[in-house]
Structure 1
Amino acid sequence: MFQVFSTLWQSSCAMPPRLVLLLPVICQLTESAWVRGSVEVPAGGIVFLSKFCFDWKEDANTRHPVGKLQATLHCANPGDGTLKFVLLDDQATSYPDSSAFWGFGCDSDRLKAAARWTDVINVSTLVSGKAPKAEIFETHRPRWWYAAIVDCSGYARTIDYTVHMINVHLGFLEEFSMDRIGPGGVYFFMALYALLAACQMAAVLKRSTSAKTQHPIRILLTACVGAAAVGTLSTLINTLWYAYHGEDQANFYLAAKLLKAGSKYMLLAILLLLSRGRCISVPLYARDIWQATRILLPMYLSSICLEVWGEYAQSRNYTTDFVYKTPMGLLIICIDVGIFALYLRNLCSSWRAETDAIRQSFYRCYGLIYSGAFLSLPVSVIIVQSFAPWVRSEVIFIVSNAAHCIFLALLIVGLWPDYAQPFFCIDQPSALAQTFGVKTELLDEGQELWQPPSLNGDLELRAAV
C-alpha cells in the first residue's frame, strides 16, 4: 500500500491541489483478489479484512473446489495470546450485516453459528508469519465469503496481513470476484466510444464554408467524447492489469474515475446550456460556460470523492451491498437528481419564453429526451434491485454506458456541420439573434445559470459572435 501511495504522490505533483486530496482515499485499495494492509484488532473484537464472491458448480467437493483462499498474518503486537482467523459466508444464519461487529466475541454463540471455517492461532507464532489456507465449495449460487480476525486474549493488537482469494475455474479471470466487471463489456464500450470519438473528430475537422465546425459547443462535445473514450481505455488497462496481478493499478484506476466522471459532467454541462436556450434561442458566450463550470465542478469533485469513499468504506468488507446502496452512493444519486431538477426548470422556462415553433419543438421533444442523461444512474440503480447482488455492478455499468453513448450519438448527429438540426443557431443564427442577440434578460451579465431564463422583455442591440 505504501508503494502505491508513493507512486501516486509522485505522479500527483502536476495535479491540481484539489485532486491530490483524493489520493489518500484511492490508496486504500481493499476490494481485490490481493488485499494487503495493517489493522488494529480491538480487545475481544472482530475486524473484517476482505470479501470475495466465489463461483459455484453443482459437483463442487473436496477434490474439486471452486475457490481458494490463502492469508498471511504476521508482526502482531503485543506478541502473546490467541486469535481466530475465520471465514463467514452470506447464508442467512451467518450473513454479517451492518451489525457485524456486535456479538462476535471469540467464544460467542453468534460466531460459532456464523463461522464456516476457523483457524485458532497462537499469536507468538506470528513473528515469523502464519499462513492460513482454505478451499471453498459452492454448489448452489455465487456467494460472498468474508475473511475476519477475532481477538481471544483481551488485548488490542496490530496485525499486518495479506489475503489472496481466487476463483479456480475462471482461467484467465481467476483473480476476479464474481461481482467484478469483466473485460468483455469494457472491450465493447471501448470500441463504441472510439467510434463516436472518430465521428466527432471528423465533424470538427470537416471543411465547410457555412458551418462553424469548431464552435465552442462542438469543441466541448469533442472533449466529452474523448474523455469517455480515454476513460474507458484506462478502465480496460486497469481490468487487464487486475487479471494478471489481482490488484487495481492505482494510476489507471484514478484516471478512469476522473475521465469517465468528467465526460458525464461535460455532457450535463452541454445539456444545461441548451436548456437555457444557448445555441438555440441565443448564442453561446464564454460566461455561460464559466457559469456552468462554477456549478458542476464542485459536484464533479464531490461525486468522485463520494464514489471512491463508498467503494472502499470498511462496511463494504462485511455486506453484499454495492456502492450505490451506501450513504455515499445515495448522495451521488441525489446530486444527479438535483441537477435534473435544475435542467427541467430551465427547460420549461425556455419553452414558455420561446415563440418560434421550431425551437419550441426542441424544448418540448428533444429536451425531454435528453433529460434521460440526468436520470441514467438513478434509474439504473432502481432497475438493478431486481437483479442478483453479484451482477448489479455490471448491470449499472452496461446501462449507464449505453445511455451515455446514446446521448453522445444524438448530439453528434444533431450538431453535424452543414446538417445540424434546424433549431440550433450555431451555424446560421436567426435574423433575430444576428441583429439583436435576442430578448436579453437571458443574456444579462448578472444572470446565473441556476436562474430561470426569460426571453420576454426589451431587445438589446448586440451582434452575435
Structure 2
Amino acid sequence: MEPQRAPALRRLLPPLLLLLLSLPPRARAKYVRGNLSSKEDWVFLTRFCFLSDYGRLDFRFRYPEAKCCQNILLYFDDPSQWPAVYKAGDKDCLAKESVIRPENNQVINLTTQYAWSGCQVVSEEGTRYLSCSSGRSFRSVRERWWYIALSKCGGDGLQLEYEMVLTNGKSFWTRHFSADEFGILETDVTFLLIFILIFFLSCYFGYLLKGRQLLHTTYKMFMAAAGVEVLSLLFFCIYWGQYATDGIGNESVKILAKLLFSSSFLIFLLMLILLGKGFTVTRGRISHAGSVKLSVYMTLYTLTHVVLLIYEAEFFDPGQVLYTYESPAGYGLIGLQVAAYVWFCYAVLVSLRHFPEKQPFYVPFFAAYTLWFFAVPVMALIANFGIPKWAREKIVNGIQLGIHLYAHGVFLIMTRPSAANKNFPYHVRTSQIASAGVPGPGGNQSADKAFPQHVYGNVTFISDSVPNFTELFSIPPPTTSAGKQVEETAVAAAVAPRGRVVTMAEPGAASPPLPARFPKAADPGWDGPTPPYQPLVPQTAAPHTGFTEYFSMHTAGGTAPPV
C-alpha cells in the first residue's frame, strides 16, 4: 500500500498555486519603466550588474518643470558607496549625495544646463515638462552592481516618468542579462537536454522492469521526479529566452518553473525516505503511523517551500542583492533538510539490521545520498557567505542543477536492470507484493509490513528473447487458507538447485508408495527367486540437457525418489 498523502495538502495546493502566479512581478532592471510620485527626497529606482567594459544605460526621463531640479545618482557596490547610504537612517539626502564621486560622472543633472542629460523643455496641454533622453556607459575594473537612485534634496517631493534600458553588449546571450546572470540560459538549456535523456532512459528501464514485474511505486516516483524536472527546466528556458529577447520576460512563467523545480525535489526526497524505510525493497507496506508521519512532514516541507517563494516575491528588498535562502523560510528549509537526513539514516539502519542481505544496495545508496542531503545546506551557506554577489546567481544556478543531476544520475545507475548491476534493489515482483501483504492467521498485521526474507524471485535478468522455462510450472496458491500460500519461485530459490523446478504437494496429502526392496514383501503370491540384498541408493539425475531435468515431489513426510 502506498503511503497516503494528506487530503489537506491536496486542497491547499490549487489556491497556493494561483496565489503565487498572481504575485506582481518585481522590477529586475534590464528594461524598466514606471511613474514615480513620492514625498521623499531620495528614492531607489533599480539596480543592474554591468560588465567591466560593455555596460550601457539608455534612459528617457520626463517630469514637470515646476519640480526642477532632480538628479539621477549612480552608486556602485563599494562599501563606501551603496552599502553606506541605503537604509542608513542617520544620513539625510545631502549626506547620501556626498558619497558620490563627481570625477566618476556618477550624477546626471536632469536640467537643460547639463548637456549630457539631453534635457529640453516641452509643453503639453499648457504644462511645461523637462524631457531628458540620453545614455551613459559604465567601465570598471570588474563586474559591479550599480544602483540607480533619484534625489532632490530640500525639495517638495519627487515626480518622474522614467524608462531605462540597461544592457551588457549586443549579443543575444548577454544584452539584457545582468552580469551575475551570464550563462544561466545556456546552462539551463544544457541541463534540459541532459534531463530529457535521463527521463527517456528511466522510461526505457521502467518498460524493462514492467516486463519483469519489477516496476515498483518508488521507481515510478523517480520517473515522475525526472519528468517534473524536465518541465521545470523547459519553463525556465522559455522565461530566460523571452527575457533575452525583450528584457522583460514573464514572471508568472518563472514562478511556475520554480514551483515545478520544488515539486521535483519534494517527490525525490519522499522517494528516498520511502526506500530508506524499505518500501518496495524489503516491505510491501508502510505502517499507518509511518504514513501519518510522512504526510505531516511532506505537508510541512511543501508549505515551507511555498512560504519561501511568497517571501522572496513580496518581502525581498530590491535594493539589496539577496539569495533565496537569506530568509527565515530559507533557514527553516535547511532545518527540515537536516531532520530528513536524520530520519533517512535511522530508516536505512533499521532496514539493514533486519535485512543484512540488502547491503549491496543500501551501503552505496546511503553513502551517495548522504552527500546529496548535505549538498543543499552547504550550498546555501556558501552562497550566503562565500560567493561574491556579482557572480552568485549564475554560480548557484549551476551548482543547484548539478546537485539535482547527481541525485537522478546515481539512482538511474543503481537501478539499471542489468545482470552486472550488483546494487539493484528490487527483487520482489509486483505480483508478489499482494500475497506478501496478506494478513496471517488470526489477523496478525505484522505480516503486512515485511516481505519474507528470501522471497526475491528470479534475481537474474534473462534476455527477453530466451524463454524462462522455470516459470512454466507454478502451482496456484490454495484458496482455503491465505496464510498457507505457496510461492513457487521462492521455494525454488531457497531449496532447488539453479535450473530445476520444485513443486509442492498440499499438506496432509498422501505420499506416493515407496518401491518395495523385496518383491515377496509386496506380493505374498510371488513364486520367483528372491534377489540378493541391495542397499537403497538414492538415484541421481540424468545429465543436464539444457532444460529442466526432472521434477520431484515434496510431501509432509519428506522427499520421494524421482519418478
Deviation at 1:89, TM superposition (A): 0.5
Cα deviation for residue 81 of structure 1 reads: 5.8
Matched, 1:50 2:46: yes
Identity %, equivalent residues: 19
Contact kept in structure 1, 2:304 and 2:329, CA below 8 Å: no
**Shift of residue 67, structure 1, vs aligned partner:** 1.6
Specify the alignment match of 2:18 in structure 1: 20
Counterpart of 2:73 in 1: which secondary structure? strand
The 1:173/1:99 distance shift into structure 2, 3 A limit, reads closer
Give, in angstroms, the shift of residue 392 of structure 1: 2.0
TM-superposed CA distance for 1:356, in Å, is 2.3
Equivalent residue, structure 2, for 1:88:
75
Q: String of CA shifts for 1:319-340, please: whole Å, max 9, x gaps.
A: 3443334555434433433333
- Which amino acid is the alignment partner of residue 398 of structure 1? G
The CA deviation at 1:278 is 1.4
Mapped contact 2:56–2:138 kept (Cα < 8 A):
no
Measured after TM superposition, the shift of residue 422 of structure 1 is 4.7
1:190 aligns with 2:192: yes
Does the 8 Å contact 1:196/1:409 carry over to 2? yes
Residue 240 of structure 2 is matched in structure 1 by 239
Change in Cα spacing, 1:300 to 1:257, as seen in structure 2 (3 Å) is same
Larger of the two Rg values belongs to structure: 2
Q: 1:328 to 1:69 in 2, by over 3 A?
A: farther
The question of whether the paired residues in 2 share the 8 Å contact of 1:33 and 1:176 is answered with yes
The alpha carbon displacement at 1:132 in A equals: 5.7
Letter in 2 for 1:67: G
Match of 2:27 among 27, 30, 41: 30
Residues 138-153 of structure 1: matches in 2 within 5 Å?
138-153=139-154
Question: Deviations for 1:163-196, whole angstroms, at most 9, x for unmatched residues?
Answer: 3211125454211101015222112101110100
What SS does the aligned partner of 1:165 have? strand
Q: How does 1:371-382 map to 2 (within 5 A)?
A: 371-382=370-381
Aligned partners of 2:25 and 2:251 also within 8 Å: no
Deviations 1:256-299, CA, capped at 9 Å, x for gaps: 11111111111101011112221222114697778645422442
The partner residue of 2:203 within 193, 201, 204 is: 201
**Once structures 1 and 2 are overlaid, which stretch shifts more, 153-162 or 124-133?**
124-133
Cα distance in 1 for partners of 2:354, 2:343 equals: 22
Query: Per the alignment, in what secondary structure is the counterpart of residue 151 of structure 2?
Result: strand
Question: Following TM superposition, by how much is the alpha carbon of 1:201 offset from its aligned partner in structure 2, in angstroms?
Answer: 1.4
1:186-224 alpha-carbon deviations (Å, 9 max, x no partner): 1210111010011111122337543233x3222211110
Determine helix, strand or coil for the equivalent of 1:92: coil
Residue in structure 2 matched with residue 453 of structure 1 by the alignment: none
- Match of 1:114? 100
* Structure 2 Cα separation of the partners of residues 49 and 462 of structure 1: 77
Q: Within 5 Å, which residues of 2 pair with 1:15-414?
A: 16-25=14-23, 27-37=24-34, 41-44=38-41, 46-57=42-53, 66-73=54-61, 80=67, 82-96=69-83, 99-108=86-95, 110-114=96-100, 117-121=106-110, 130-131=131-132, 133-156=134-157, 159-168=160-169, 170=171, 172-182=173-183, 183-206=185-208, 208-213=210-215, 215-284=216-285, 292-307=294-309, 309-310=311-312, 313-317=315-319, 319-351=320-352, 354-360=353-359, 362-384=361-383, 385-414=385-414
TM-aligned CA distance change 1:210 to 1:169, over 3 Å = closer
- Partners of 1:331 and 1:160 in 2: how far apart? 41
Structure 1 residues 74 and 333: alpha-carbon distance in aligned structure 2, compared to 1, 3 A threshold: farther
What is the alpha-carbon root mean square deviation over aligned residues? 3.9
* Conserved 8 A contact 1:269-1:296: yes
Instruction: Mark the runs of 5 or more structure 2 residues left unpaired by the alignment.
Output: 1-12, 112-120, 451-481, 486-563
For residues 125-152 of structure 1, what are the alpha-carbon distances to aligned partners after superposition, in whole Å with 9 as ceiling and x for unaligned? 8985744644233241101100112243
Gaps of 5+ in 1: 1-14, 58-65, 445-459
Structure 1's 415 and 289: CA in aligned 2 closer, same or farther, altered over 3 A? Answer: farther
CA contact (8 A) 1:69 1:165 kept: yes
Query: Structure 2 vs 1, CA of residues 18 and 137 (structure 1 numbering), >3 Å: closer, same or farther?
Result: closer
Counterparts in 2 of 1:431 and 1:365: CA distance versus 1, 3 Å: farther
Q: Tell me: higher relative CO, structure 1 or 2? Use CA pairs within 8 A at least 6 residues apart.
A: 1
**Contact 1:282–1:425 (Cα < 8 Å) also in 2:** no
Aligned to 1:447: none
Alpha-carbon distance change, 349 to 208 in structure 1, aligned in 2, over 3 angstroms: closer
Query: Residues 405-459 of structure 1: CA distance to partner in whole angstroms, max 9, x if unpaired?
Result: 1221222233345767454355376999567799849959xxxxxxxxxxxxxxx
Decide whether aligned partners of structure 1 residues 345 and 266 sit closer, same or farther in structure 2, where only a CA change above 3 A counts: same
State how far apart, in whole Å, the 2-side matches of 1:145 and 1:273 are: 48
- Using the alignment, how far apart are the partners of 2:175 and 2:349 within structure 1? 52
Distance 1:461 1:114 in 2: 85
SS at match of 1:18: helix
TM-score (norm 1): 0.76
> AA paired with 2:277?
R
Residue number in structure 1 paired with 2:537: none
* Counterpart code for 2:108: D
Match in the other structure for 1:10: none
Judge conservation of contact 2:285–2:437 (CA < 8 Å) in 1: no
Structure 2: distance between partners of 1:103 and 1:85: 22
